[in-house]
Amino acid sequence: MPWFEFFWTPEIEQHVAEHGVTVEQFEYVVMTSVAREFSHSNSQNTVAKGYDQTGRWLICVYEMIDTMTVLPVTAYEPTEE
């Protein structure tokens, strides 16, 4: 499992929480996801898809600042996947 440092701001934490996702859930999905792809709308963003600790399927969007630092962008539970 890869290890990353996550750069959380209060605004990003609030935005993710508005989608019903916790910091812990976001970090877990990003670190354990086997499905990663670049976002079509912004080539700097990466999308991680995976299950959180409770089995909830989440999509987490983030930007890699460097090889170890993740800047979260958003996360949500898709309506269909």
pTM: 0.87
What are the structural domain ranges in the chain?
A: 5-76
The structure tokens listed for 2 are: 């890869």
Q: Which of 7, 12, 16 is nearest to 52 (CA)?
A: 16
Closest CA to 54 of 25, 81, 13: 25
| Alpha-carbon gap, residue 47 to 24, rounded angstroms | 17
By DSSP bridging, strand 69-76 and strand 5-6 are parallel
Over the stretch 29-72, which tens digit does the pLDDT of each residue have? 999 987 666 665 656 899 999 999 999 999 999 999 998 999 99
CATH of 5-76, one of 3.30.450, 3.10.450, 1.20.120, 3.30.565: 3.10.450
> Can you give the pLDDT at residue 40?
58
Residue ranges with strand state E in the chain: 5-6, 35-38, 45-51, 57-64, 69-76
Split at pLDDT 50, 70, 90, the class of 22 is: very high
